[in-house]
Amino acid sequence: MTELPTVLLIHQIDRHEGAWTILPLMKDFSLTYGRNSSWIFFCEEDTRIQVVKLLETLRRFDKSKEWFLGKALYDEESTIIHHYAFAENPTVFKFPDFAAGWALSIPLVNKLAKKLKSEPLKSDFTIDLKHEIALYIWQKGEGPHLTPVPEFCTDDVNSYKVDHCATTFSNFLPLCGEPVKKEDVFVAVKTCQKFHDDRIPVVKQTWEREAALIEYYSDYADISIPTIDLGIPNTDRGHCGKTFAILERFLNHTSPRTPWLVVVDDDTLISIIRLRKLLSCYDPNEPVFLGERYGYGLGTGGYSYITGGGGMVFSRAAVQKLLASKCRCYSMDAPDDMVLGMCFSGLGIPITHSPLFHQARPMDYPKDYLSHQIPVSFHKHWNIDPVKVYFTWLAPNTEESHNGRKVGYNREDL
């Protein structure tokens, strides 16, 4: 009888803030499992595993060798979120889709642990973990490439395609009861005068109608929109002063019965309808700070933060705790999202990651990766038609009435 696998939950191994970036755990994995185990298999909360099939699949590979196994993703064109890596031919570099699960053989875990002991991680930022882990393992050609495994799948468990699969993935939008009411979400849009004419009309043509409570915050009061001048001059970068002014306004000038605040940029494209479903899974009486998680300096302490462009979601309790603390911007043009990450980290309030928020455009992500998501947001208008992107990827259409299940609708190469 093979022993059943040991199951670890990474958020419980959180002796340090960067546990979610996985590489810092290699030394522990090597010490604890390096002698008696053969594989470490990683997956997401929504990955479904056929354990017997998974063990059969892993037995095909010689466990005494260094293996990095997964479902391969690649960039069709070089992208900012991967620092334009492999710009000559981005399709050559494969990295794992975490939703399908991925595996490291113990000899590779031991090698990585040894390497990390002698050379600590250098990276300042953690932006797209799956790509960064694959780069670290590959070691510019000295380590293994990802070996694609067809049994690691991201199709829905009910799909006709999954007979051969050891893993499947839940392609639903999380829904934990009734969606949060429209009036329970307050939306704050950060803008400035120079973008009133080109970015605000896009918001009005697309997702504004999904929001019951929405205000536009600018450096200039324009009654045609209308925008509110918070008295904070626009800065070229950062916006920390403006964001803290928005948080204070939310706490002091909106109904205390409004439990949720969403702060977005004027070039964020978002589905408030899907967000309301997602928020049904969280308790607004707890301090919740939700969005797409990035990391800064996590190899050496550091902190995680929610990247601003994809939208930052706060429960009123989180805003109360933050503003009751002494943590504030170190300068008006400090990066707001990073300062917020630093503050919440200091307060011991964990941030909540959702891969459904996106800091970049649909074309910046592999098609296969987006195919098993029902996205909540995208960001940026560069070289795209943002209205078309919204109506293709985010607009409420037939799939919203199918309990959030995907139905086939056309997503051109946006």
398 exposure class (CB count in 10 Å sphere: 0-12, 13-18, 19+)? exposed
The SS3 of residue 199 is coil
What residue segments make up the domains of the chain, in order of their start?
Answer: 10-169, 182-353
Tokens of 96: 């794992």
Looking at CATH, the fold of the domain delimited by 182-353 is given as Spore Coat Polysaccharide Biosynthesis Protein SpsA; Chain A (3.90.550)
Tokens of 50: 């056929």
Place 408 in a pLDDT band, splitting at 50, 70 and 90: very low
Q: How far apart are CA 345 and CA 355, in angstroms?
A: 20
Mean pLDDT of the chain: 93
Confidence at residue 14, expressed as pLDDT on a 0 to 100 scale: 63
The SS3 of residue 187 is strand
pLDDT at 407 over 60: no
Q: Measure CA 231 to chain center.
A: 32
DSSP state of 18: G
Q: How far apart are CA 364 and CA 371, in angstroms?
A: 13
Q: How far apart are CA 392 and CA 313, in angstroms?
A: 23
103: Cβ contacts below 8 Å, ≥ 6 apart: 39, 40, 41, 42, 58, 67, 68, 69, 70, 149
Confidence at residue 123, expressed as pLDDT on a 0 to 100 scale: 73
Pairing state between β 39-42 and 72-73: unpaired
Condensed to tens digits (0 to 9), the pLDDT of residues 21-42 reads 999 999 999 999 999 999 999 9
Condensed to tens digits (0 to 9), the pLDDT of residues 253-296 reads 999 999 999 999 999 999 999 999 999 999 999 999 999 999 99
Kind and range of the H or E run holding 291: strand 289-291
Instruction: Calculate the dihedral angle through the C-alpha atoms of 98, 143, 299, 73, rounding to the nearest 10 degrees.
Output: -20
Q: Residue 361, CB half-sphere, CA atoms under 13 Å: how many?
A: 18
Confidence at residue 406, expressed as pLDDT on a 0 to 100 scale: 44
Condensed to tens digits (0 to 9), the pLDDT of residues 328-380 reads 999 999 999 999 999 999 999 999 999 999 999 999 999 999 999 999 999 99
Place 401 in a pLDDT band, splitting at 50, 70 and 90: very low
pLDDT at 17 over 90: no
The CA–CA distances, whole Å, from 239 to 42, 192, 218 equal: 37, 11, 11
Confidence at residue 93, expressed as pLDDT on a 0 to 100 scale: 96
- Number of Cβ atoms within 10 Å of the Cβ of 209: 12
Confidence at residue 310, expressed as pLDDT on a 0 to 100 scale: 98
Least-confidence region, from 159-168, 201-210, 398-407: 398-407
Condensed to tens digits (0 to 9), the pLDDT of residues 79-96 reads 989 988 898 999 999 999
